Chain A
């Protein structure tokens, strides 16, 4: 684990609450606005920030995040600029862990070793790469761990007890439990099923388990956070961003606040969970 990720989960543990993990697409709707949004998230209550690396063919994403990636690409976003975004964020925030999330091809083309060097020096803490299962660990996972970055794996409802050890073997930072079989932004997660799934994963690992996919409201966030070490929200934030854009898809004066305000409401939901549980 990186020191930032370690410190953050230690701090959350001492405060007796779950993590609020936010996802936004890097460069959506343009690089400048995206940086302003990422900078506003810790203030709004985000404990960990996932930044999407835009890709033309996001096979596990629903329409909202697909569109966000295309907006970012249209605005000229590249992997190099996503790393620059993290670097700029780090100038003002040394504590909030940053996780880059996306697909393997842009990293493969950037060059794995160069990417890991640049990500580390930019202040990235972890990676979630959707299309790299444990069967392909030699590609990026092992080199990332060697470089001192977390490689955060997705576990899903189809990951049974037999397969879990393989999925968890080289996972670090936290485990991201995908609460539904499906794409981002699809069905709502059922909190009791999530509770038993998290308990099942925890029998196999001491790592924190954060839950994502299907969390859209403060109420759901609260319900999920009661069962997990963290709740991840992505599509709802991306939708709030989109709703604030003008007819041409450009940022307006409302865009940063639209995302920050929803994040603040969701953060209250997550924080409410532990109080209710205490």
Chain B
């Protein structure tokens, strides 16, 4: 059973930013000196108790951590199997887990003397978190967002603008998250001297995948402690949705070396895996984009494919490199949920638990609906509820109206 596993799944990346063959630093020369500076600045900050202390203080008093670990009694009864807990990261200030990472990066940007912050955003949750902390610390904030996402996530666009950020709709490519990231990289190449690029997920060139994971790992660390308090032991399984995979990595990472904990990542299967989707591991293969080698959706010529998901936050043709490695190492099982499954989970959760989840974690809940009934009643399953659904209410309302008309 324990043969052929590495000593630890938590020791990566190596000094060149590699998780196995994944990760790396595939960026233009203009950016390379900045990335090396960032790596050094992050290493210094990580070792500085004052930095950690200040971050913990903001986590407590500004973000509202720790987020609760909540026993979802009615969902548990409804599914009739595993005992289901929600890690309530949707209760954070700004409404998602994104703020955990942004807080860390903005504190680092201040330490590095950077006054201008840029970010890409899909659903707008990372953009809102970045705009929020830039407002809090008086920094200039520019957010790149695909024009399609600007359209379907209007509430978040308005929030960012009210917070003083400039939202730039990106018209290139499929006009979603991938294109927003291209445009943010172009801005960074142009404004290297004063600009800090606050990447929203565990992707991009080293040190971003490691750094974002570290900032998000507070999710899993709290979960360990809270589950000990609630049940006196570790959970038996973890489930989280994956676009780039930062909420999932944050929950998973502190448990990777606990072999008794089964771990499931849920990608977005869109219209289905044989049609348009955003499931890089299920439907892609290793390639190089946005500074790292990882699983990507692409054609036979290496041209990147356009992803599709009902959820703007999962609508990305890649995945963080550490997930690609955990997939190949078989430590984490990657599943996928379709748009329709996510929508059903969104509605079920709203009505059973009085929690309107974001469409992103609704993908995780959709798989819980299939996994939980097959588990014994003493099986402890934790789902990361990484975002709240307020931003999705207009979009889901529209879909429900269309459905009602058709029937």
Contacts and interface: CB of A to CB of B under 8 A. Distances in A.
Contacts of A135: 16, 24-25, 32
Dominant secondary structure at the B interface: mixed
A130 B300 CA distance: 21
A157 B29 CA distance: 10
Given A106-B303, A108-B302, A133-B25, A181 B173 contact: no
B347 interface: no
Contacts of A79: 301-302
B29 A109 contact: no
A153 interface: yes
A186 B303 contact: no
Interface residues of B, number: 35
Interface of B: 16, 24-34, 172-173, 178, 182, 185-186, 189-193, 287-291, 296, 298, 300-304
B297 to A, nearest CB: 11
B170 to A, nearest CB: 11
14 contacts: A55-B302, A56-B304, A57-B304, A66-B172, A79-B302, A106-B301, A110-B302, A133-B26, A135-B32, A156-B28, A167-B29, A181-B189, A183-B190, A186-B190
Contact of B182 (A57, A73, A109, A158): A57
Contacts of A131: 26-28, 288, 291
Contacts of B16: 135
Interface of A: 54-60, 62-63, 66, 73, 78-80, 103-110, 130-136, 153-160, 163, 167, 178, 181-183, 186
B288 A181 contact: no
B340 to A, nearest CB: 28
Contacts, number: 115
A109 B302 CA distance: 5
Contacts of B185: 59-60
Nearest to B26: A131
A107 to B, nearest CB: 7
A54 B173 CA distance: 14
A19 B24 CA distance: 35
Contacts of A63: 172
A105 B298 contact: yes
A105 B32 contact: no
Contact of A60 (B173, B189, B288): B189
